[in-house]
Structure 1
Amino acid sequence: LSKDSSVSCASCHKPAFAFSDTVAFSTGIFGKLTSRNTPSVLNMKNRPYFFWDGRAATLEEQALIPIANPDEMGLAITEAVARLNQSDEYRKLFKKIFGQLPNAKNLGAAFAAFERTLETEDSKFDDWANGNGELTQQEERGRQLFVSNRAKCFDCHSTQDFTNDEFKNIGLYNGNTQKDEGRFFITKEQKDLGRFKTPGLRNIAVTGPYMHDGRFKTLEQVVQYYNNPYMFVDDPLNMDTLLLQPLQLSNQDNADLVAFLKTLTDRRFLK
């Protein structure tokens, strides 16, 4: 469903990497690059909005946006629907499932139905949480640190999918070298300047690179960033109050956090 038939959803949301991409910016039609890092589409069933800036309110709405985006798949939805209606197989399938021929509404519904099946709950952490396994000493230290007031991870990465579904400015905007305005692009409200949706952390060990711009290749770099954002970005603007003071975590603390984060990987993605 791309303009030149060279790009599919799985071109950027690679199943082997927890339905994320392995590069900072994905390649769309005609070699164009996306403007933000491709997030995983796993565990989206309970999310209240989608995309880094929350521009879509439903999975049905979200599913159609990349198809029409000129830097991604570049195909008008009307043309996508026309293509599907030229296929005997898809005409039969849509008629069977929806009682209708393909149209924009049921195309979005079909994608959304598939995405809602992509829930993961078979990790080492899940075994521990269900009383069916143990964490190593290092993983347990990392877990305790994760939920502590020292590291503050759980303030944003909470609930069963490790996200509070809020928008946060973590210091990656200064209006100079870092210019992506994030949620502000959608709301035009000053409080949203530099804010991005807090991603869930399930399968985080296999979904790098990280952040909305894919700047960090490893979890170790991510943890080091949160320890002291000022070491990475000069004069961040509108940064969340949780990060205004460096966390003062030790190298051992950082390693323990990474060890815990790796327990969140579903077994189907373990290599």
Structure 2
Amino acid sequence: MKTYVCFMLALVSFVLVGATLVTDEPLDKMTLGKRLFFDPILSRNRTISCATCHREDYAFADTSALSLGVFGRKGKRNTPSAMNVRLQANFFWDGRATTLEEQALIPIANPDEMDLPIDLAIKRLNGSKTYRAYFMKVFGELPTKANLARALSEFEQTLETADSPLDDWRLNDNEAAVSESAKRGFALFNGKANCVQCHFGADFNSSEFRNIGLFNGKTLADSGRAAITKKAADLGKFKIGPLRNVSLTAPYMHNGMFKTLAEVIDHYNEPDKRVPDAINRDPLLAKPLGLTQQEKLDLEEFLRSLTDKRFLVKAAVAKKS
């Protein structure tokens, strides 16, 4: 039943997006990548697309701790947002890919996700009269591994957001754009809570990997970055992701173990409480932050102010209907 539902959702998305591309949008690398992103043709049994797990209404993330791939196979890590990736230096929780093009192909071939070896994906695209024509028009050549990756990455690079209430306040000096609580939260983020140590810049992230105390080698056994580098010092370290639109991307962390922003803040406030036997936890989390209940609420309000206005408009429209 789940597989059938996924197939129908992917099919509807493909039909709608495909229709838009054909009738309204000029065909270029980005629009071709968009069509491919929403098309289940890139999964083994044609039941899911990239958009099945990267859901637009949730900032191109998923609402499940672990997403389901073809044949209902459960993934091993939480699906991160596909938004605000243009400035990122590495991809996936463990940083296994260093370019968007490299990243774009890995989920297609992953047995737990789309399970379609890239050679077969290219063969399938070349077997489509429509896609042969599209690729010839856009790239001047038939589908290849390189131009498939390029098209998908071109679409992902358009998923940038920089129009949140926080931007309106900080960049446009609009004091009314955010609440007083969010302003206090911003001060905490940069001060007492010291979140800015790891989350900074345009997208509130960094190129580092950190162990925030969610690895104990037993119940929490995902070694993260260490599986790539083979270094003991990297045990339990994971990528520091962007915070833009974070209010939409629950559940949180590499395993989706925290369901709400409040739970995330509670963990950082008292790192020992949830995982007292953590191994290799970062020294930045050596002791509790000592946040009061009001300070935690203020910090959460600040994080919510990072939601792009396009999503706020959608939420307002949905609330009225």
Give, in whole Å, the separation in 2 of the partners of 1:27 and 1:176.
24
| The one of 84, 89, 103 aligned to 2:130 | 89
Q: May I ask how many residue pairs the two structures share in their alignment?
A: 270
Identity %: 53
Q: Which residue of 2 aligns with 1:269?
A: 311
Structure 2 counterpart SS, 1:252: helix
Q: Which residue of 2 aligns with 1:227?
A: 269
* Residue-by-residue CA offset, 1:28-66 (whole Å, 9 max, x unaligned): 011101100000010000111100000001000000000
Structure 1 residue ranges (4+ consecutive) displaced by more than 4 angstroms after TM superposition: none
Give, in whole Å, the separation in 1 of the partners of 2:97 and 2:204.
20
Task: Tell me if structure 1 keeps the 8 A contact 2:271–2:287.
Answer: no
Q: Which residue of 2 aligns with 1:196?
A: 238
Give, in whole Å, the separation in 2 of the partners of 1:182 and 1:75.
24
Aligned AA (1:21): D
Q: Which residue of 1 aligns with 2:114?
A: 73
Q: Which residue of 2 aligns with 1:21?
A: 62
Are residue 98 (structure 1) and residue 139 (structure 2) matched? yes
Are residue 111 (structure 1) and residue 152 (structure 2) matched? yes
Q: Which residue of 1 aligns with 2:163?
A: 122
Aligned AA (2:117): A
Give, in whole Å, the separation in 2 of the partners of 1:207 and 1:223.
15
Task: Tell me if structure 1 keeps the 8 A contact 2:126–2:132.
Answer: yes
Are residue 137 (structure 1) and residue 180 (structure 2) matched? yes
Give, in whole Å, the separation in 2 of the partners of 1:77 and 1:190.
32
Shift of residue 168 of structure 1?
A: 0.2
- Greater RCO (CA < 8 Å, at least 6 residues apart): 1
Give, in whole Å, the separation in 1 of the partners of 2:212 and 2:122.
40
Aligned AA (1:124): P
| The one of 244, 254, 279 aligned to 1:237 | 279
Give, in whole Å, the separation in 2 of the partners of 1:42 and 1:199.
11
Q: Any gaps of 5 or more consecutive residues in structure 2?
A: 1-41, 316-321
* Residue-by-residue CA offset, 1:192-226 (whole Å, 9 max, x unaligned): 10000001100000010000000111101110110
| The one of 192, 196, 201 aligned to 1:154 | 196
Q: Which residue of 1 aligns with 2:39?
A: none
Give, in whole Å, the separation in 1 of the partners of 2:247 and 2:289.
22
Are residue 173 (structure 1) and residue 220 (structure 2) matched? no
Structure 1 counterpart SS, 2:266: helix
| The one of 52, 60, 65 aligned to 1:11 | 52
Give the TM-score normalised by structure 2.
Answer: 0.83
Aligned AA (2:72): G
Shift of residue 234 of structure 1?
A: 2.4
Higher share of residues assigned helix? 2
Give, in whole Å, the separation in 2 of the partners of 1:183 and 1:94.
36
* Residue-by-residue CA offset, 1:50-93 (whole Å, 9 max, x unaligned): 00000001000000000000000000111111111111221111
Structure 2 counterpart SS, 1:159: coil
Shift of residue 132 of structure 1?
A: 4.4
* Residue-by-residue CA offset, 1:101-128 (whole Å, 9 max, x unaligned): 0011100000000001110011101101
Give, in whole Å, the separation in 2 of the partners of 1:171 and 1:50.
21
Aligned AA (2:229): T
Q: Any gaps of 5 or more consecutive residues in structure 1?
A: none
Structure 1 counterpart SS, 2:205: coil
Point out the more displaced range, 16-25 or 87-96: 87-96
